[in-house]
Amino acid sequence: MRLLLSIRCFCFFAIFLTLTCWEVIAQDENKQSRRDRLMQRFDENKDGKLDEEERDNIRNFLSRSRNAEGVETTKRDDKIHIPKDYDPKKEYPFILTIHGYRGNGKGQLRFFPLKELAEKYDFIYCAPDGIDNSWNATDACCDWKGKVDDSKYLRSLILKAMKEYNIDKKRVFVTGLSNGGFMSYRMAHDHSDLITAIVPFAGVGFNQWPSNPKNPVSILHIHGTKDKTIKWEGGGIGKLKYPSAEDNFSKWKAFNGCKKKAKVEKANIDLDRKVSGSETEIVRFESNNGKVVMELWEVVKGGHVTPPRSAARERIIKWMLARTK
């Protein structure tokens, strides 16, 4: 009897030990599998290492969650930056700057720094984070699940800034890189009552917009002719197509009624750090009264946008601040 009991106890212990070992192995495999997936997703250079920005993107991704319906359940980083000498009695322009796919707000401010320019030119700005490091801008780019209404969220950010600070309602601007460029066009279309002008870098809009924007919105579009990610000549992400930079520009020229070609002071500038000389060619169209402006900055031989040189960055800011509703 004792022998039988001992055998049963031994068998039970052996089964328990085996199951525990398998559970530990499975947990280790899951952890390794998750690490591999994160590395595959965020190691943009494919060098097997993570730089500071890639680690930021992973931390940002892991800090976010969605409920079963895909609705956001955690707060985004949407800090509003104001000048040091902010005066509540004075009206300030507002700039919303939108990161690209797999990016975040901090990375966008490394790409297009605004802190010093905000002090120099007196404007307020915000660089928010997209859910899962992306924006639901168009069918081609880039939240293909379509469960997050980023257009509504970004509008609410602008209205929040207007409620908390003395924002000049006639000078509200949006700029963005890549997926953020697509989102800039989406904001211009959806909220033309609110947006004065946009500056998209390497991002376009829908092939066919569902409707015309209700109000004109000035546009400065920047795009590299050798961009392999969002191609100058247009292309697709999977089966979803996006227009060429020139076709997209022509559509918005028609939307805005900008038929008159205008002269450009310094029509060739040095924007791209990776291309020698004054590689960027600028063409400009205006509405009849000159209030609505369309500019296309063609970065000849430029790729998927490197951070613009400081002089070009300042010119972009001055272009924005000169626009008004």
- On whether residue 67 sits in a domain, the answer given is yes
**Average pLDDT across the chain, whole number:** 85
Tens of each residue's pLDDT in the chain, 325 residues: 555 445 555 555 555 545 444 454 445 445 456 667 666 666 665 667 776 666 666 655 554 444 333 444 456 778 999 999 999 999 999 999 999 999 999 999 999 999 999 999 999 999 999 998 999 999 999 866 667 899 999 999 999 999 999 999 999 999 999 999 999 999 999 999 999 999 999 999 999 998 999 999 999 999 999 999 999 999 998 889 999 999 999 999 999 999 999 999 888 999 999 999 999 999 999 999 999 999 999 999 999 988 999 999 999 999 999 999 9
- Which CA distances in Å does 228 have to 184, 202, 280, 307? 20, 10, 17, 17
Cα separation of 245 and 305, whole Å?
14
- Does the residue 266 lie in any domain? yes
Contacts of 92 (CB under 8 A, 6+ apart): 82, 83, 86, 122, 123, 124, 165, 166, 167, 168
32 falls within a domain = no
Number of domains in the chain: 1
Residue 258: which domain range? 58-321
Domain holding 316: CATH number? Answer: 3.40.50.1820
Domain annotation covers residue 13:
no
- What is the distance between the alpha carbons of residues 201 and 222, in angstroms, rounded to a whole number? 5
0.85 exceeded by the pTM? no
